[in-house]
Amino acid sequence: GAVVSQHPSWVICKSGTSVKIECRSLDFQATTMFWYRQFPKQSLMLMATSNEGSKATYEQGVEKDKFLINHASLTLSTLTVTSAHPEDSSFYICSAPGRSSYNSPLHFGNGTRLTVT
Amino acid sequence: QKEVEQNSGPLSVPEGAIASLNCTYSDRGSQSFFWYRQYSGKSPELIMFIYSNGDKEDGRFTAQLNKASQYVSLLIRDSQPSDSATYLCAFGGGELFNTGTASKLTFGTGTRLQVTL
Give DSSP secondary structure letters for B3-32.
SEEE----EEEETTS-EEEEEEES-TT--E
Chain B closest-CA separation from residue A52 CA (Å): 12
Confirm or reject contact between B104 and chain A (CB < 8 A): yes
How many angstroms separate the CA atoms of A49 and A52, rounded?
A: 10
| Beta strands A67-73 and A106-108, pairing class | unpaired
Inter-residue contact A109 to A36 (CB < 8 Å):
no
Confirm or reject contact between B40 and chain A (CB < 8 A): no
Confirm or reject contact between B43 and chain A (CB < 8 A): yes
The verdict on whether omega for the bond into residue A8 sits within 30 degrees of 0, i.e. cis, is yes
In this structure, the number of other CB atoms found within 10 A of the CB of residue A13 comes to 16
How many angstroms separate the CA atoms of B57 and B62, rounded?
A: 4
Inter-residue contact B114 to B17 (CB < 8 Å):
no
Confirm or reject contact between B93 and chain A (CB < 8 A): yes
pLDDT at B100: 40
Question: Quick check: B92 and A103 CB within 8 A?
Answer: yes
Stretch A38-51: mean pLDDT: 91
Q: Which of B36, B102, B107 sits opposite A104 (nearest CB)?
A: B102
Q: Backbone phi, then psi, for A86, in 5-degree steps?
A: -55, -30
Question: Quick check: B34 and A31 CB within 8 A?
Answer: no
Q: Which of B43, B100, B106 sits opposite A93 (nearest CB)?
A: B43
pLDDT at B91: 87
Question: Quick check: A103 and B110 CB within 8 A?
Answer: no
pLDDT at B111: 96
pLDDT one-digit tens code per residue, B25-68: 988 877 788 999 999 999 999 899 898 899 999 999 999 999 99
pLDDT one-digit tens code per residue, B8-30: 889 999 999 999 999 999 888 77
Report, in angstroms and rounded to the nearest whole number, the Rg of chain A calculated over CA atoms: 13
Q: Please report residues of B whose CB lies closer than 8 A to that of A43.
A: 88, 107-110
